A and B are shown apart, each in its own frame.
Chain A
Amino acid sequence: MRSNNKIHPKKFGLYISFASIMMMFTGLTSAHIVRQSAGNWLEFKIPPIFFISTVVILLSSATIHLSYKSFLKGREQQYKWLMVLSAVLGFAFIVLQYEGWQQLNAIGVDLKGNPSGSFVYAISGIHAAHVLGGIGAIAVALLHAFSLPFKVTPVRKLRFELTAQYWHFVDFLWVYLIVFLVMQH
C-alpha cells in the first residue's frame, strides 16, 4: 500500500484507537471527579495490592519489549520465552486485580455501596477488560511464535509491533488510572 506517511496505516489506525480508549477513561475519571465534588463520598485507601499489580504489569511491558528486541536480533528462544513470560505476567495482573477487588470488599467497600467504591471497581474492571483483549492478542502472537518457523518478515514485525504497542498502551493507561485513584482516595 502506498502511504503519505512514514507510519504504517495499520499502526496509525491503532494510535487513533488509543485516543478513543483514552477518551473513554477520561470520561470515567471526569465522572469520578464530578461525582466526588458533589459530596457524600466514602473515604477509603486503595489496597496496596494494586501497587503490586502495577509493578507486575510494568514488568510485562519490559518483557514484551525485550522479546521484540530478541525477535529482531534473531534470538529465537529468548524471543519466545520472553513472550510467554509477558503473557503470564499479564495474566498475573488480572489475578491480582481480582484479589484487589476481594480486599476492597473485605474492608467494607463493596460494588453496590457508595459510588466512591463503585468507581474503583468500574474503572479497574473496564481497564481489566482491555488487558484481557491484550492477552488475547499476545495469545495469538504466541501461537504464531510456536507454530510458524522463525523468520523476521515485515508482516510479522508489523504484527508484533502492533501487539506490543497495544500492550504498552494498556499498561501505561493503568499507571494513569492508579495514580488518579490514589490521588483521589
Chain B
Amino acid sequence: MAYVTETGYNEEVLIKENGLNDHFHDHHHGDKFQSNFITTYIFSQDHKMIARQFLITGMFWAIIGAAMSIVFRLQLGFPEENMAWLRPILGKWITVDEAGMGRLAPEFYYALVTMHGTIIVFFVLTAGLSGTFSNLLIPLQLGARDMASGFLNMLSYWFFFLSSAVMLYSLFLSTGPFSGGWTAYPPLSALPQASTGSGTGMTLWLLSLTFFVVSVLLGGINYVTTVLNLRTKGMTLWRMPLTIWAFFLTAIIGILSFPVLVSGFFLLMFDRGLGTSFYLSEIFIGGKALENVGGSPILYQHLFWFLGHPEVYIIILPAMGLVSEVLSVHARKPIFGYKAMVMSMLAIGFLSFIVWAHHMFMSGVNPFISNFFVLFTLIIAVPSAVKVFNWIATLFGGNIRFNSPMLFAIGFVSLFISGGLTGIFLGNSAIDIPMHDTYFVVAHFHIVMGIAAFFGMFAGVYHWFPKMFGRFMNEMMGKIHFWGTIAGAYAIFWPMHYLGMAGVPRRYYRFDTFEAFKHFEDTNKFITVAAIIVFALQIVFVINFFYSIFNGKKVTDANPWGATTLEWTTPIEPGHGNWEGNLPAVERWPYDYGKNGREFIPQWEPLAAGEQDGGNH
C-alpha cells in the first residue's frame, strides 16, 4: 500500500532504498547513555551492555554453582576420603577429628545441594540465559534502537545484582545458607528452628528470590513491550526469527507464573514472621508441640509448582530459540516448519500451566485428579516431538558447518531427546510413584533442562560472541569444550537412571552405609570423576571466553556467518542506537537459505518480482 507523502516522495520507495528514518540521530541523546565509565559499563541503559552484564554475572554464578556440585559429588563418590584439604575454603563446614580426618558437615551438604539448585535454575539458566540473549537479540533482530524502557531494563539487571548479592552473603552466614532443597518446601522453610539453614539463611533466600522475581518481571515487561511495539518497518510477527518468538513467549510465561510464586512466598513469610499457619499444622519439633494448626504444606507445593513447571520452560524455550536459529544458519537451510515451531512453542507455553501437579503425584494428591495431570503432561510430548522432528529435518541434507556453535546446537537436540523420553516415564503417575525423589528424576531434569539449556546457551555464546565483542572465540578450544562436555555429561547422568531405577533416593548424604545401595560405590565414583572432568572443561570455556574478548580473531566482515537476520547489518561493534544511519527495513522472513540459487538472502533484501515470502506457507 504505497502512498505518497505531502512532500511528494513515495515513502515506501524511500524506505526501501535508505532504510527507515526514525529521526534517532537528530538529537544527540546517544551521549546521555554512554558519556562516562559509569553510564557505559555500570549503570548502563544500553541493551547490549546489559546483556553482557547478565552474561558475566551468570558465568560467575555458574562457576560457583558447579563448584558446589563438585564438593557434594566428592562426598557421594568418596565418602571415606579425607576432605581436610577443603578446610581453607569451607572453614568450619569441614570437621576434622583427632586423626586428621576431615569430613563435610551433613548440614552443609544439604546447603550445597540447595544452593546448587537455586543458583543454576534461577541465576544461571534464567537470568544468565534469557537475560543475556533477550537483551542482546530482541532489539538487534527486530531493528529497534533499544528496549522500550532502557531505565527499567537497567533496573532489571540491578535487581538481579541485588538478589545475587543477598544470596552470596547468605553463603557466609555462620549458620549457613538455606538447606531445605531448591523448592523450599515447608515445614523446613517455614520454621526457623527446623534446621540450621532455616533461620537467617532462609530469610535471605526469600529476600533474594523476591528481588529476583522483580528483576524477571521488569525484564519481561520490557521484552514483551519491545516485541509488540518496536519492530522495524516490515517486521511482521510472522517474520520474526524463532529466537524472538522464544524470548517473547518466555517473557509472557514468566509474567504470568512468577507472581504466583511470590504469592506463595508471601504466605511463607507470614508463617515465618507473623505466626500464621498457612502451611503449618500439628508439628512437633524438639519434643514440643507447636501451636500452629490448620495449615497445609501441600498448599505451598501447588503454588510453587504452578511457577516451578512453567519455570522449566522459561529456561528451555530461550535455548530452543537459540538452537533453532544456530541450526538453520550453520546448516545453510531454512528452519523446517517455521510456523509449526512457533505453534509448538505456543502449545508448550499454554500446557506448561496445567501440568504442575505431576511434581506432586506422591504428595497425596487425589489419584483421580492426578489423571488429568498425567494426560496434560503426556500431551506436552507432542509439541516437543514436533520441535525435535523439525530440528532433525533442518539438519537433514544440510550443508553443515561443524563449528562450535553448531556442535552445541546439535548436542542440545540429542540431550533434549534423551531427557524428554524419561519425562514421559515420569509423567505416568503409576511409574512416577516408585521413581519420585530418586536419581531417575535427577537424571531426567539434568539432561533435559540443566545440560540441554547450558548447551543452548553455549551455542548462543559461540554464535553471537562476534556481535558482542567484535571477535571470534577460539575454535579449537570450542571443539575440545564440546566433545568433552557432551561425553562427560552423558557419563555423569546416564548411570543415574540405573541408580534411580534401583530406588536410590536423591538428596542423601551418603549411600555406602545402606545395605541396599552400597554396591553402587563404583558407579558413584565414576560419576564423580566424570563430573570433575566436565567441570575442568568448563574452565576451558571460561578461559576461551575471556581470552577471546581481548585476543580473539577479529571480525572483519559485518556478517561473518552469512546469516539473514538484522543484527548483522549493524556496524561490527554497534554503539548506542545500534544503527549508524537509518533503521533497516525488513522485506522477507528470516530463513531464506539456498533459495533462487543463492546461499542466503538476508531479511533486508526486497522480494524479487513474483517471489513468495517464505514465512507465509
A66 to B222, CA, bound (A): 31
A45 lies within 8 A of chain B by Cβ: no
Tell me whether A16 and B225 are in contact (CB under 8 A).
yes
- List the A residue with the shortest CB-CB distance to B261: A27
On chain A, the residues within 8 Å of B303 by CB distance are 27, 31
A171 to B221, CA, bound (A): 22
Question: Please, what's the 1-or-0 string for B206-219, where 1 marks a CB less than 8 Å from any CB in chain A?
Answer: 00000000000100
Q: Nearest-CB distance from B547 to chain A (Å)?
A: 39
Tell me whether B229 and A122 are in contact (CB under 8 A).
no
Known: A21-B259, A27-B264. A12 touches B228 (CB 8 A): yes
Q: How large is the interface on B (under 10, 10 to 19, 20 to 34, 35 or more residues)?
A: 35 or more
On chain B, the residues within 8 Å of A70 by CB distance are none
A118 to B294, CA, bound (A): 11
On chain A, the residues within 8 Å of B18 by CB distance are none
A73 lies within 8 A of chain B by Cβ: no
A179 lies within 8 A of chain B by Cβ: no
A81 to B228, CA, bound (A): 37
B276 lies within 8 A of chain A by Cβ: yes
B256 lies within 8 A of chain A by Cβ: yes
On chain B, the residues within 8 Å of A24 by CB distance are 259-260, 262-263
Tell me whether B230 and A4 are in contact (CB under 8 A).
yes
B231 lies within 8 A of chain A by Cβ: yes
Q: Chain A at the B interface: mostly helix, strand, loop or mixed?
A: helix
Q: How large is the interface on A (under 10, 10 to 19, 20 to 34, 35 or more residues)?
A: 35 or more
A38 lies within 8 A of chain B by Cβ: yes
Q: Tell me the chain A residues, 1-41 only, with Cβ under 8 Å from chain B.
A: 1-5, 7, 9-10, 12-13, 16-17, 19-21, 23-28, 30-31, 34-35, 38, 40
A126 lies within 8 A of chain B by Cβ: yes
8 further interface pairs, Cβ-Cβ under 8 Å (given A2-B22, A31-B263): A4-B231, A9-B148, A27-B262, A30-B302, A115-B277, A118-B270, A118-B277, A122-B278
- State the 6 A-B residue pairs at the shortest beta-carbon distance, nearest first: A27-B263, A24-B259, A27-B260, A9-B148, A23-B259, A118-B276
A-to-B contact residues, CB < 8 Å: 1-5, 7, 9-10, 12-13, 16-17, 19-21, 23-28, 30-31, 34-35, 38, 40, 111-116, 118-119, 121-122, 126
25 inter-chain pairs at a CB distance below 8 angstroms, sorted by A residue, are A4-B228, A4-B230, A4-B231, A9-B149, A9-B229, A9-B230, A12-B148, A12-B225, A13-B224, A19-B255, A20-B217, A20-B256, A23-B256, A23-B259, A27-B260, A31-B263, A31-B264, A31-B267, A31-B299, A111-B275, A113-B294, A115-B278, A118-B278, A121-B276, A126-B266
B-to-A contact residues, CB < 8 Å: 20, 22, 148-149, 152, 217, 220-222, 224-226, 228-231, 255-260, 262-264, 266-267, 270, 274-278, 293-296, 299, 302-303, 306
